[in-house]
Amino acid sequence: MNVAEMYDEVSGRYEELISDSKYIGPHWIEQKLQSNIHAYREFLDLGCATGPIGAVISNVVPEARIVGLDISSEMVELASKRGVYEQLYVHNLDEPIQPLITNKYDAVTALGFSEFLSKPEQMLKEINLVLKEGGRCFMSFQLHDPSNEKLPRNTYSGSVVHTAYTESEVQNMVQNSGLKLVSLESLCGYVSGRGYECHYIMIEARKI
């Protein structure tokens, strides 16, 4: 099973899963937007799934215009029913987002999926290209710590691999992308059904 098939399969249960697992994404982005509310109108939500991040954006910034992308057609179908996205695309984010995305955005959210990408640094470079000057990137990475066996480089959902990164690797990726790091936090991202605590590095970065 590949990542698109896996998320197609869980799409109908996704909202329940994120609630049961205490997934941090929606809560974290809500806090970030509440402290930056005046700056953003045009949003790009990468790996949008059924739209939990879009729903928070629309709640905090009612005039927001949001474009969503996801590899799973079932997720995109459910996101469209939510009514918070101006446009939605089925797209593999391991492929370039331009020329599909030609506008410039005030903020890009990229939460809960970089662990599935083969080149997350390339994703950051693309985000840099589609942000307006001063625009913000909100992104998460699964945390790897070589000195902690509970934070391995790779974990698995069946045959789908999750790749985690160290804090210094994330800092280097942000720097190489041309974005400027505003904040970096290591937090518990979610707790799986088997009790595995998946830690995330949550970053805010700015287009310079």
Q: List 205's β-bridge partners, or say none.
A: 137, 181
The nearer residue to ligand SAM, 12 or 134, going by C-beta atoms, is 12
User: How long, in residues, is the chain?
Assistant: 208
Return the residue of 42, 70, 106, 204 that touches ligand SAM, per CB under 6 A. Answer: 70
Whether omega for the bond prior to residue 52 falls within 30 degrees of 0, making it cis, is no
Supply the angle between the helices 120-130 and 167-177 in degrees, to the nearest 10.
Answer: 40
Residue 144 near residue 164, CB atoms below 8 Å: yes
The nearer residue to ligand SAM, 134 or 185, going by C-beta atoms, is 185
The nearer residue to ligand SAM, 94 or 146, going by C-beta atoms, is 94
104 three-state secondary structure: coil
Is 68 near ligand SAM (CB under 6 A)?
A: no
Is 120 near ligand SAM (CB under 6 A)?
A: no
Binding window for ligand SAM (CB under 6 A); candidates: 87-95, 100-108, 142-150, 195-203: 87-95
- CB-nearest residue to ligand SAM: 112
